[in-house]
């Protein structure tokens, strides 16, 4: 499951932005293990948005999931990777609003150690930083699960 740095928690009230590092495959192909995220704490959550939240049963565990739809009592959240089982609302149900810490705005993918050729470095440079949008097509796809 994706983890957040302690900087996100300490600066949540004072800073509008924080950062997180992804661990695990639950959000592939949107996010990969090792990606760094910029999290906007004051962002409005919409269906399809990628959000950072506290795990409902383990309050010290922070996860990144896609907010699929608004339901009574909070948000239904799912991972983008259908093959990575568990860790979303299918396990713990609706996530209350107070457990959602923020919305992911940017993704930074660090360069892999083996990327040395000029072409590989150029490809990485063009795709290293990307915005993370509320993908409505993904939310429709996930809603069917």
CATH of the domain at 59: 2.10.109.10
What is the CA angle 139-52-129, rounded to 5? 80
Q: Could you report the per-residue pLDDT of 25-69, keeping only the tens digit for each?
A: 999 999 999 999 999 998 789 999 999 999 999 988 889 999 999
Residue 144 lies in a domain: no
Residue 56 lies in a domain: yes
Q: Which domain holds residue 81?
A: 13-135
Residue 4 lies in a domain: no
Residue 140 lies in a domain: no
Q: Which of 26, 98, 21 is nearest to 59 (CA)?
A: 98
Residue 141 lies in a domain: no
Q: Could you report the per-residue pLDDT of 63-91, keeping only the tens digit for each?
A: 999 999 999 999 999 999 988 877 899 99
Instruction: Provide the whole-model pTM.
Output: 0.81
- 24 touches 84 (CB < 8 A): yes
Question: How far is CA 68 from each of CA 52, 128, 137, rounded to the nearest angstrom?
Answer: 13, 26, 10
> How many domains are there within the chain?
1
Residue 90 lies in a domain: yes
Q: Could you report the per-residue pLDDT of 13-29, keeping only the tens digit for each?
A: 568 999 999 999 999 99
């Amino acid at each position: 499951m994706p983890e957040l740095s302690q900087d996100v928690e300490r600066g949540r009230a004072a800073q509008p932005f924080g950062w997180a590092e992804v661990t695990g495959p639950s959000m592939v192909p949107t996010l990969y293990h090792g990606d760094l995220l910029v999290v906007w704490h004051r962002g409005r959550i919409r269906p399809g948005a990628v959000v950072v939240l506290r795990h409902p049963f383990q309050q010290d565990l922070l996860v990144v999931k896609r907010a699929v739809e608004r339901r009574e009592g909070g948000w239904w959240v799912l991972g983008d990777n259908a093959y990575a089982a568990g860790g979303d609302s299918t396990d713990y149900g609706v996530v209350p609003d107070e457990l959602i810490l923020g919305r992911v705005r940017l993704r930074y993918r660090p360069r892999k150690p083996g990327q040395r050729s000029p072409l590989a470095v150029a490809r990485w440079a063009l795709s290293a930083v990307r915005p993370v949008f509320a993908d409505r097509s993904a939310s429709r796809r996930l809603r069917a699960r």
